[in-house]
Amino acid sequence: LGIHALLVVTVALSPATATAWTENDAIREAVYPPLWDLAPESLLDFPVKDNKIVINAWDYQQRLGMYKILLNSSIKYFATFGSQNFGNILWGLPLQHGWQFRTGRLADPSKVTSCGYGDGDPLCISVRSWWSCMNYYLSALPFLGAVEAGLFGQLQYEVELLPPEEQRADFCYSVADCRSQIPKLMDDWKAYFEVNNFFFMSSATFSSFHLDDALHFMWRAHVASIAYALPKFHDRLKYLPASEANFGEDWANGVDFIAATHFSTDFLTTNNFQAFLPQRMLTERDVLPSVSDFSPQQKRVLLSLRALHKANQLTG
């Protein structure tokens, strides 16, 4: 069952099964994360306070800016893989973040606050959201790992991320703080950027062979981030409908298998892939496969991820 489900997911997510994209299609605004053009583009766009660059990672636009700065700073490594930095394998991170924002998954699911809602603070990222807490370890950790690896050069100021209003102990906020709490995760993300720089400096080009190595290190850090965050944020699932909570856990489990294939998370491939993800939160009324507003491909992916997760649980 596990192998069969993996094959179904792999086929469903294959770019070859999606409508072919071209670079002309890709320049349309709709395929970028929401508000991409308004996100900060450099560390100089953030305020400096007490000799520290201060970033509010609980604001969608600022967290998106962290990704944008990572992409801008690593463009040289992927110049041979297409124009406009489309070949950069870090695109998977901001595009996933944009999908979460667009589908309402970063808002407060308990609705105790107006965080993330149009009639409150639409750019707010809720600390009660399972998705946003999981994503923290796929935004803050890559960013701080890049700082430590020297991707941004010698910085005049330290970088500090602001804490959320509650559950502050669940996160780390600076290179030193994260290194003291989760050194292995910091090592994994730092290694990704160091390896890219080594390949670039040693050969002056970033070949397909090196790209596969980069994907290995990127996915290793990605999977490690999810493995660390999953037990930490299990309590956030209580705020979600059971169907959405199950999908979240199924998705986290499925990433292990996607990572094993060294799936390329460049701009075009990730956009093709995300067309198969649900365009809204699942509700208690959603019982697969009879969800009227989901495409056959979306339903197939959700069912396959569910089967894969169950197979993993049954086999231990």
How far apart are the C-alpha atoms of 69 and 80, rounded to whole Å?
Answer: 20
DSSP 107: S
Query: Greater confidence, 29 or 242?
Result: 242
The pLDDT of residue 22: 52
Residue 24 has pLDDT above 70, yes or no: no
Alpha-carbon distances of 42 from 59, 66, 83, 86, 162, rounded to whole Å: 16, 8, 20, 19, 18
The pLDDT of residue 31 is above 50? yes
pLDDT digits (tens, 9 = 90+) for 3-14: 444 444 544 454
pLDDT digits (tens, 9 = 90+) for 102-136: 999 999 999 999 999 998 999 999 999 999 999 99
Summarised one tens digit per residue, pLDDT across range 183-193 is 999 999 999 99
The pLDDT value recorded for residue 80 is: 85
Whole-angstrom Cα distance, residue 269 to residue 264? 7
- The per-residue pLDDT for range 66-92, each reduced to its tens digit, is 999 999 999 998 988 888 899 999 999
pTM: 0.89
Sorting pLDDT into bands at 50, 70 and 90, what band is 312?
confident
Cis peptide before 289 (omega within 30 of 0): yes
**Cβ pair 214, 199 in contact under 8 A:** yes
The DSSP secondary-structure symbol of 121 reads B
Q: Is 34:105 a contact under the CB 8 Å cutoff?
A: no
Calculate mean pLDDT across residues 167-178. Answer: 97
**Band (204; pLDDT cuts 50, 70, 90):** low
Q: Is the pLDDT of residue 216 over 70?
A: yes
1-5, 138-142, 232-236: range with lowest mean pLDDT: 1-5
Mean pLDDT of the chain, nearest integer: 89
pLDDT grade for 139, boundaries at 50, 70 and 90: very high
Does 144 have pLDDT greater than 90? yes
What does the pLDDT read at residue 11?
Answer: 45
Question: Left if phi > 0, otherwise alpha if psi is -120 to 50, otherwise beta: which for 116?
Answer: left
Q: What is the pLDDT of residues 251-310, one digit of tens each?
A: 999 999 999 999 999 999 999 999 999 999 999 998 888 888 999 999 999 999 999 999
Task: Give CA–CA dist 151/148, Å, rounded.
Answer: 8
Burial 283-306 (b: 16+ CB within 10 A, else e): eeebebeebeebeeebbbbbbbbb
Determine what percent of the chain is predicted with pLDDT higher than 70: 88
